[in-house]
Amino acid sequence: MKNKILNIISSSAEYISGEEISNKYGVSRTAIWKHINALKQEGYQIESFPRKGYKLIQRPDILLENEVLTNLNTSKWGKEKFYFLNEVDSTNNYAKKLASEGKPEGTVIVAEEQSAGKGRLSRKWISAKGKGIWTSFILRPNILPNFAAQITLVMAVGMIKALEKNLGVSAKIKWPNDILINDLKVCGILTEMSAEIDRINYVIVGIGLNVNQSNDDFPDEIQDSATSLKICLGKEIKRVQMLQVILEEIEKVYNLYLEKGFSEILDEWKNNSCTLGQEVIVKMPKEIIEGMAIDIDSGGCLIVKDKENIIHKIIAGDVLVRKK
């Protein structure tokens, strides 16, 4: 009922009387008043005047279900299941729980704040309240587990497209999962999988996008390597709109991947890479490899040629790009 009341007061620039709402939905004036107060607590600015009714003045830039789903142009993503959380330890952890319960592909989890956001290699991801987009998706691709690494690259291409479409931002991809603007990290992608020997049960894709942080919002140790859309563009960004475009563009790229395979996505990844053609240092648990990043193979692995012209296939590792 709360969302129905929101929809009716959103549909008019004039005041909507309590009597009109009561007649339309068959609820009491007291119930309407309670729902209006609940909307105000969520951040909606609503004017109330005796004998005139209610008027919506401003919507909040909070990633609420009703806000995100309004005018969302996806076929499935977000519309299957959408979970908004004020705070959670990690949206990926929450998504894994839902996936194990059988929630469908296209389920979206979004939080205003993460207390234990995760990056690759169990690193902590700084997830300040109301400053970014902290979201996870449940996927159930019909691919073999040894191709699951492709999903991270597919998501990265979707993020590049979303930033370009919504903001006109030209971002680059650093293998395997970082989105950079002006050589600074603005977004990270973390994929986690549950699989059997020959099939995938589910893949969880977590995306952390720095949206409206200022430099002071980042810890000292990452201020030289991290950025936000606000810092890059010099203005506040509407998070609801940004999330809508992310869902739309990533769904398109993911569906293209399922329909036509990885090769077309891989070409786009390469065209937007800041890793290929660069001297790199790859740090792995038992060795460090230095050389030229020359390619990405069909499995999503980084191919590096060292100074002895030995070819290395990198499945996982930290990559430092040495700019020419």
Rounded to an integer, what distance in angstroms lies between the CA atom of residue 156 and that of residue 250? 9
91 marked among binding-site residues: yes
Helix, strand or coil, per DSSP, at residue 124: strand
CA angle 127, 132, 135 (to 5 degrees): 80
Rounded to an integer, what distance in angstroms lies between the CA atom of residue 148 and that of residue 165? 27
| Cβ–Cβ under 8 Å, residues 32 and 22 | yes
66 marked among binding-site residues: no
142 marked among binding-site residues: no
Rounded to an integer, what distance in angstroms lies between the CA atom of residue 239 and that of residue 68? 9
185 marked among binding-site residues: yes
92 marked among binding-site residues: yes
Rounded to an integer, what distance in angstroms lies between the CA atom of residue 180 and that of residue 290? 22
Q: What dihedral do alpha carbons 71, 76, 81, 83 form, nearest 10°?
A: -50
Alpha helices in the chain (DSSP H): 2-10, 18-25, 29-42, 65-69, 91-100, 149-167, 229-233, 239-260, 263-271
Write out the binding residues. Answer: 90-92, 114, 185
Write out the binding residues for biotin. Answer: 90-92, 114, 185
